[in-house]
Amino acid sequence: MKIYINKKLLAPVVGAALIGSSLLALQAEAAPQMNIGILDVNRIISEAKAAKDINQQMEKFRTEYQTSITAQEKSLRAKEKKLAEQQKTLEPKAFAKKKKAFEQEVMELQKSIMAQNQELQKAAQASMEKIRTNVISISEKLAKAQGYAMILPSTVPVYFEKQYDITTTVITQLDKNLPSLKVEVKLTNTKALATKKPVKASS
């Protein structure tokens, strides 16, 4: 009986799609002059200080939470083994009662983990939303200053010259605006973390 936190739910990279779709929306305000800026969203997710901070916090939380879950799994396996031994001596009715209680405990742990996975996903998305908002704001100001008719994610054009890539400029400004970003995670499995120290996020 192994229960793992879904790593896919913790990946801040999901924010790339959100940022990219918002950049495409800027096309609606495009002027006749087609001076275009290109933004590599994946670079922002991998290089920006705030994005790295989010990823480190989420990974630390996932690791500590998984350790706690593993401890609970160990406890449940011990109970399962004991229950199997008791089956030899207990009356059928008494055994059925104990088995039902054990199954309920397993189900509660699984439900708790599912709820925590959802909370982790929510926390990651909320943090990435702050980055997205900043990236859009920086991009809009840069577009006005440099006269860009639109700014597109680098995945859209088949080809573009490097002189149109504004990614480094955006990352530099983003690092100034958000040098770090605290991830707010609500603990739903307090039993699992009862003996663990709270995850200390960056301020």
> Is residue 139 over pLDDT 70?
yes
∠ CA 114-120-124, rounded to 5°: 150
Q: What is the mean pLDDT of the chain?
A: 81
> Is residue 12 over pLDDT 60?
no
C-alpha span between 80 and 102 (Å, rounded): 8
pTM for the whole structure = 0.68
∠ CA 145-147-153, rounded to 5°: 95
Cα 142 from chain centroid (whole Å): 28
SS3 36: strand
> pLDDT value at position 28?
47
* Span 178-199, pLDDT tens digits: 999 999 887 665 454 433 443 3
Nearest residue to 3 (alpha-carbon basis) of 199, 189, 200: 189
Main-chain phi, psi angles of 165, to 5 degrees: -80, 115
Alpha helices (runs of H) in the chain, residue ranges in sequence order = 15-25, 41-47, 49-86, 92-146, 167-177
> pLDDT value at position 65?
87
The mean-pLDDT minimum among 27-36, 80-89, 155-164 falls in 27-36
* Span 25-81, pLDDT tens digits: 555 454 455 789 999 999 999 999 999 999 999 999 889 888 989 999 999 999 999
Residues 141-150 have a mean pLDDT of 92
> pLDDT value at position 21?
60
> pLDDT value at position 58?
92
Structure tokens at 173: 């400004």
Structure tokens at 68: 């706690």
